[in-house]
Chain A
């Protein structure tokens, strides 16, 4: 069974790049454009990893992480934040909210796959 990744980002370019990279590495990918949509997707799909940008309309990444950790279905799913290199405060906030780890933007495809595999075994 292929592992499934949910990528949440309001940037179309970013979503497409992530999808392309991860599909090439053998993952299934579903997309959502903000936290709210992500929750809708999670309600009907079982995913193995969530990649979340932090800056999104309607529900930002940190809030999404809190919601996921509080929910039933995906409570312990690995969640990786996409953060910019200077966002140390956000990293802490994300970790406090329950994020598993982070990837610094901009990232290269190899690094993305490497980190994803790290948290998914």
Chain B
């Protein structure tokens, strides 16, 4: 992808971005899928703000290797996380062909560096299987919201709200619940 170019997604209108914060998977949803190494992952389309080609980041001091740095996204400053490094696979040797998926998680905008975009999948709730009980694999269980099979490929669905938390997510009970509601009459 040409560096600096970006793709906005059809459903990613302002009002819906970040609409799915925490919570269980709804009946049927769309996921943007991408590859990191040989693995394929997906994130809910409603949290994807845009997809960009990789541009050089400004490094941040004293951060773990999966925090690559920050970039200028049309005037706002967002961090870029290396998904490969986050999952323990080492830092990505980045080229201009790599892709950054810009996510909107609640009030925050962040980017994750991945190898390439695969597809947009429509997934129904019934198709999502819970992740197997792996004993501390590379991926911390709490990031996963489930596994789904698409055309003989296994796609790991990621829960974006938990992906970047350094510590366990606070018990929901102690924060106020805002369950998104269709029509606020």
| A contact set with B: CB distance below 8 Å | 4, 10, 12, 15, 19, 28-34, 37, 40-41, 45, 57
Q: In whole angstroms, how far apart are the Cα atoms of A55 and B174 in the complex?
A: 26
B178 contacts A31, C-beta separation under 8 Å: yes
B177 contacts A30, C-beta separation under 8 Å: yes
B13 contacts A by Cβ under 8 Å: no
Q: In whole angstroms, how far apart are the Cα atoms of A30 and B179 in the complex?
A: 11
Q: In whole angstroms, how far apart are the Cα atoms of A29 and B185 in the complex?
A: 23
B181 contacts A33, C-beta separation under 8 Å: yes
Chain A residue nearest in CB terms to B183: A57
A45 contacts B181, C-beta separation under 8 Å: no
B106 to chain A minimum Cβ distance, whole angstroms, is 16
A28 contacts B179, C-beta separation under 8 Å: no
A41 to chain B minimum Cβ distance, whole angstroms, is 6
B178 contacts A28, C-beta separation under 8 Å: no
A57 contacts B179, C-beta separation under 8 Å: no
Q: In whole angstroms, how far apart are the Cα atoms of A48 and B167 in the complex?
A: 28
Count the B residues whose beta carbon is within 8 Å of the partner chain — how many?
9
Given A28-B174, A30-B173, A10 and B185 contact (CB-CB distance below 8 Å): yes
For the residues of B in contact with A, the DSSP-based class is loop
B185 contacts A30, C-beta separation under 8 Å: no
Q: Give residues of chain B (161-185) contacting chain A, Cβ–Cβ below 8 Å.
A: 173-174, 176-179, 181, 184-185
Given A32-B179, A33-B179, A57 and B185 contact (CB-CB distance below 8 Å): yes
B185 contacts A32, C-beta separation under 8 Å: no
Chain A residue nearest in CB terms to B174: A28
A32 contacts B174, C-beta separation under 8 Å: no
B28 to chain A minimum Cβ distance, whole angstroms, is 21
Pick 11 A–B contacts, CB within 8 A, sort by A.
A4-B173, A10-B185, A12-B184, A19-B176, A30-B177, A31-B178, A32-B179, A33-B181, A33-B184, A41-B177, A57-B185
A45 contacts B173, C-beta separation under 8 Å: yes
B184 contacts A32, C-beta separation under 8 Å: no
Which chain B residues lie closer than 8 Å to A57 at the CB level?
185
Q: Which of A29, A30, A40 is packed against the most chain B CB atoms within 10 Å?
A: A30
A48 to chain B minimum Cβ distance, whole angstroms, is 12
Q: Which of B174, B176, B179 is packed against the most chain A CB atoms within 10 Å?
A: B176
Which chain A residues lie closer than 8 Å to B176 at the CB level?
15, 19, 29-31
Q: In whole angstroms, how far apart are the Cα atoms of A12 and B177 in the complex?
A: 12
